[in-house]
Amino acid sequence: MRNILHTNGGRSDVLAFVSENLRRLRQRAGLSQAALADASGLSRRMIVQLEGGDTNISLSSLDRLADALGASFIEIVSDPAVQRLRIDAVAWRGSNPQSHAMLLGSVPAAREAQLWSWSLGPGERYQAEPDPQGWHEMVFVTEGRLLVDLSEGAVAIAAGDYAIYSSAQNYAYVNLHEGVTRFVRNVVC
């Protein structure tokens, strides 16, 4: 999958704290690794590898773990010693070196609100998995031209324009520009 985040030592990636946070949150919830695997729909082997800091995982699988633990995505991926409002961690890297998504921060909402900075290199596509009902995205393009390919219909967004939509559907981001496309993404529930 193209939306898989890979561990990479020395960088500020969201997986840097997953191992510690997952173990702590699992123990707080009183769940064994097998019980968490059942509750999240992931394999026990994946849970073991995540707690050992030795695996790759999709962002949607991190969401499923958070739901199973009664925690937020931010609690799973952020440094517990740092204020939660500012995160500044890479959460996705594409095949093009200019393509990445940076989780900038989060604030409480009915459930959660996240601020992201994205860039997609020429020809890059990010295929997302649907969020649960109630989640929405607001995307503002700062450079280039972005196609948000939604189940309900594609939306092309030029620099200086935006789109708001439910993310509880299949969707993808596609760079329609010859150069890098940059955009700000807010995720809210």
CB 112 within 8 A of CB 85: no
CB 176 within 8 A of CB 147: yes
When comparing pLDDT for 53 and 34, which is higher? 34
For the domain covering 4-77, report its CATH number.
1.10.260.40
29-40 confidence digits (pLDDT tens): 999 999 999 999
- Regarding the domain with residue range 94-188, which homologous superfamily does it belong to in the CATH classification? Jelly Rolls (2.60.120.10)
Closest CA to 134 of 41, 63, 69, 62: 63
135-185 confidence digits (pLDDT tens): 899 999 999 999 999 999 999 999 999 899 999 999 999 999 999 999 999
Domain residue ranges of the chain, discontinuous segments joined by + = 4-77, 94-188
